[in-house]
Structures are given as C-alpha cells and as structure tokens.
Amino acid sequence: MQCSLEMSAFKAADGDCILLQCRSENRSYKVLVDGGRGSTLSPLRSFFRDMAADDRRIDLFVVSHIDSDHIAGAISIAGDPELAPMVQEIWFNGPQHLFGDGNRALSIAEGDELIRLIGRNGWAWNKSFQGKAAMRRAEASTLLPAGADGPSLRLLGPYPEALRELGSRWTGKLPTAADRPTAPGVIAMGGGDESLNVLTLAGQRYAADGSVVNATSIAFVLRYGGRSVAICADSHAETLERSIDEDFQGKLNVDIATLPHHGSSANMSVALSGRLQAKHWIVSTDGGRGAAKKPNGSSIARILMSRRPSVGHLNFVFNSDHAAAKLWDNEKARADFNYSVRYAAATDDRIAIFLT
Ligand SMILES: [Zn+2]
C-alpha cells in the first residue's frame, strides 16, 4: 500500500503548531500538535478549507502542556466553529490528571478555559488512555488510535512524577519565565554573517531545564508506513533520555524530530543528542521573547557533533528566518558538517517535509 507522511510546522510565533498527515490510498489520519500563540487560527482555517470536504478532520489533537506558546492557540481552535467540529479526540492533561481524581481546587486559567471548551465541544478526552492522564506507565505500549492501518504512537513523556510535581508546586498561577532558572552559558546569537564555531557551541556548558511545566510535555513517536517522527514538545532532555533508554535501548532513530523547547540550550544535552537521531529536524520558533534567542546554537551544534555515521546528511527546517536561524545558513559550516537548511518563505504560513 502506498503511504505518505507529511509534517508541517505552521508559523506559530515563539511556539509550536505542528500538523502530521498520514495518507494511504484509502484514507488519511491527521494529528495536530499544539496551537502556538493563536495567530495560527487563520492559516489553519485556510489550510483545511483547501481540503476535500470529507478530509476535513483532525483525528487527534495533542495539547502538549499548559505554556501559553502551545495552549493559547489551542484555545482559539477549541473555540472556533469551523475547526472545533473536526477534532475527534484530544490528548491534554488537565488538573484532574495532575492532582488525582476529585481534586480540582487549584486553577490554571488557560487550562481551565481549554477544559470548558473540551466539554462544550464534546470532544473525546484522553480516550486512548481511558480518560486517564496521557503519560508513560509501567505497562507502556504502542497506541493504535486509528486501528492497525493507521499510525502507531508511543509516548516518550511525560512521566507521572512530572505531573505530580506540577500539582504539588501549583500556587494558583502559571510560573512565568522569570520564575524559571535560566541556563548559564546561554548566548545570544547575532546576525547571519557572524562566524559560526560549531565545536565551541557543542562544548558549551549544559544546564538542565528546571521548568516543572515543560516536564509535563506530552512527547511521542509516531510511526506510519515505515516512516517515523518524534514530537519532543518542550520536554526536558532527561525525560527523553530516560524513555529512549527504557523503550529503545538508548537509541531512537527517526526520520524527523522536533528540536525540543524551540532549540533551548537547556533541552538538548549531549546525552540526548547521542540517543535521538533524526535526518530532518524541525525548528519551530521566531526567535522567542527572551534576550537569548532560540534556537540556541549549542543545541544544533550538539546534534551535528553527535550524529552517527549511518544518519548521513542532516536537514534543518526552520519555520522562521530570523537571525538565530539564518546563522546556520553558513556555507563553510554546511560543507564541513554535512547539513542543509530550509526556511519558510515570507509568504508561506508553514514549512513542510513530505516523506513517501
Ligand atoms: Zn514552548
């Protein structure tokens, strides 16, 4: 059977809005991951309007975690009369999944809003997990939400401890960026003509992401028709290292992976770059709102330096051509380290990778 897998990274400001389309002769299966900040609503509407009427469905909508650069746009989608009816199932961990059944005392404003809309839309919520948390379990297994002919999904995160930790630390408001530790050694990347020292970048000091919210990211591997994608969301590197060790003997090879946490230096350790190997890397960010722009050079440099020979040429696909992204369009570095770069065109809403 002829199958194809197309992965699109919509321009989602500093966040993620990723669409996976699995197609065979008989049917398609679509997974939408996150909604960015909300500016993705109009491009998503246009995208689905261009599809055949019977293809306008989102089989699975994954809202990876409650940070605004992922959930704000998800709320817009959930409230949209055109897109909301397309959703067949949502994966999202709400307060009851953080605190255990019956404890709803604490509130996450954006999480609560999404939950209200899930109820209004009547979406099947975490159905693949019998309504319980979308998280790794001792009996972790491959999920087949579309049956044997559809894609298979396996969770890489979160672990139950991360959901518990967020619950125990919750104080009624979202931790802001200012509450989180910033990684020392983070450097702001300048203009595209700045010299690029991959070796120095790869060797920069690594300080792990301390965000309890990022640790709750739903991350997964999707396989379809012999192709595979790793959606890393804003997972801690240590979470991914652990699940790759547990499920893949320390080596996960996929066709496409998303650069964790928009390329933050705190989410791509040397240990993870050795364990997770992909031919194509999606980099979803417009540079971000902080002074230290994303992607941080160290995360891409570590991937280049940790590549196994069998992977060969690497391809970095950016949904924005801001300075920290354009920095990698460096002829000498591309030749020395055997990689290519692609950027979303100014006139396009998204950038896609198509695998057959
Ligand atoms: Zn994010």
Q: Which pLDDT tens digit goes with each residue over 209-262?
A: 999 899 999 999 999 999 999 999 999 999 999 999 999 999 999 999 999 999
- Split at pLDDT 50, 70, 90, the class of 170 is low
Q: What is the CA 190 to chain-centroid distance, rounded?
A: 25
Rounded distance from Cα 176 to ligand 1 centre (Å):
12
Rounded distance from Cα 262 to ligand 1 centre (Å):
6
DSSP-derived letter for residue 249 is: T
Query: pLDDT per residue over 17-29, tens digit each?
Result: 999 999 998 889 9
Residue 185: its pLDDT value, please?
Answer: 34
Tokens of 116: 């209200």
- Split at pLDDT 50, 70, 90, the class of 101 is very low
Greatest distance between any 2 Cα atoms in the chain = 58
Rounded distance from Cα 268 to ligand 1 centre (Å):
14
% of the chain beyond a pLDDT of 70: 89
Cα separation, 115 vs 94, in Å, equals 7
Residue where the block lists tokens 């309890």: 212
Rounded distance from Cα 63 to ligand 1 centre (Å):
11
> Could you give the angle at which helices 68-78 and 41-49 cross, rounded to 10 degrees?
50
Rounded distance from Cα 15 to ligand 1 centre (Å):
5
Residue 183: its pLDDT value, please?
Answer: 37
Q: For 30-64, b where at least 16 C-beta lie within 10 A, e where not — what string?
A: bbbbbbbbbbbbebbeebbeeeeeeebebbbbbbb
Could you tell me the sign of the dihedral formed by the alpha carbons of 269, 271, 274, 280, in that order?
A: negative
